[in-house]
Amino acid sequence: MTETPRETRVLDAVVSLVDSLLEDFDVVDLLTELTERCAELLDVDAAGFLLADPLDQLRLLAATTEQARELELFQLQADEGPCVDCYSTGQPVSVADLNDVTARWPRFVPAALDAGFASVHAVPVRAAGIVIGALGLFGSDSGELNDADRLVAQTLAHIACVAVLQERAPTPSTVLPQLRSALASRVIVEQAKGYLRETLDVSVDEAFKLLRSYCRANGEHLTDVARRLMTDRNARPVLVSAIGEFITPAT
C-alpha cells in the first residue's frame, strides 16, 4: 500500500482551501479546517491560529483541539510562549524539546508538558508588511520542524491570512469589474511595449524586459508605469530616458 507523497497531500490541501476562498466560506470554519490540515500534514498533534487584536493582544481564532485551545488561552494570559515570541519578533520559533526551554517560558513549559506536548513551533502571519498573528503547532513527540515543514506551515499561514482579510467570497459583481481591470492593465502594458519599441528602437521583448527592470529597481508597479507612459505626455521624455538606462550594451 503506497502512501500518497507528502507533496501531493500538501497541494491537495492548498487547492481545497483556495477553492473555498473563491467559492463560499465562513472564516472560522475555514480556519478550523486549516488548523486540522496543518496537524495532519505536519505530523503534530494540535495547531492553533491566533490573530492580534487592536491592542496587540493575541487572540485565538481557530484550533484543532480543546487541549491546544486551553494552552493557547493560557499562553495569552501568561503573556509568554512560542506564539507570543513569534508575533513580537516576526520570526518563526521552533523548539524540538520543551524540556530545554523551561527558563525561557517558566509558566508555559510546565503547562504544555502537563497537557502532553513535547515540542512547539510557531510561524508568523503577515500582511501589508506587518505581523498580524501566528500559527502555533504542538507535537506530543519531541522533534525539529525542518525547512520543508516550515514551508508547509508558512504556506498554510499565508492562506489563512488571505481568508481573514478577504472576509467574504467573491461575487460576480465584484469579480467581473476586477477581470476587466486586469485585462485593461494588460492592454496598457502592451501599448507601453510598443511605445518603447519605437522610442528606444528595441524589440518588443527587450522593451518588456527594460520596463520590468525599471519597475523593480524603482519599486513601482508595471501597470502604473505603463499607464503614466501612455497617458501623461509630460512624464514621457524623462520616463523613456530613465527606462533606457537599463539597456545593456551588446557585448
Cα–Cα distance between 153 and 143 in angstroms, integer? 15
Cα–Cα distance between 241 and 128 in angstroms, integer? 32
193 contacts other proteins (rule: CB under 8 A): yes
14 contacts other proteins (rule: CB under 8 A): no
Total of residues contacting other proteins (CB under 8 A): 25
Cα–Cα distance between 160 and 154 in angstroms, integer? 10
185 contacts other proteins (rule: CB under 8 A): yes
* Shortest distance (Å) from residue 103 CB to other proteins: 56
Interaction residues for other proteins, span 195-214 (CB under 8 A):
195-199, 204
Cα–Cα distance between 123 and 82 in angstroms, integer? 9
Q: Which of 76, 111, 115, 230 binds other proteins (CB under 8 A)?
A: 230
Q: Which of 70, 100, 190, 245 binds other proteins (CB under 8 A)?
A: 190
Q: Which of 231, 235, 237, 241 binds other proteins (CB under 8 A)?
A: 231
Name which of 195 and 214 has its Cβ closer to other proteins.
Answer: 195
Name which of 142 and 191 has its Cβ closer to other proteins.
Answer: 191
245 contacts other proteins (rule: CB under 8 A): no
Interaction residues for other proteins, span 107-126 (CB under 8 A):
none
Cβ partners under 8 Å of residue 159, min gap 6: 14, 17, 18, 21, 34
Q: Using a CB cutoff of 8 Å and minimum separation of 24, what contacts does 50-58 make? A: 50/76, 50/83, 50/87, 50/133, 50/134, 50/135, 50/136, 51/125, 51/132, 51/133, 51/164, 52/87, 52/131, 52/132, 52/133, 58/83, 58/84, 58/87, 58/133, 58/134
* Shortest distance (Å) from residue 90 CB to other proteins: 35
Beta strands in 79-156 (DSSP E): 93-95, 119-127, 130-139
Name which of 103 and 183 has its Cβ closer to other proteins.
Answer: 183
Cα–Cα distance between 166 and 24 in angstroms, integer? 11
* Shortest distance (Å) from residue 213 CB to other proteins: 18
Q: Which of 181, 216, 217, 235 binds other proteins (CB under 8 A)?
A: 181
Residues that bind other proteins (CB under 8 A): 172-173, 176-177, 180-181, 183-188, 190-199, 204, 230-231
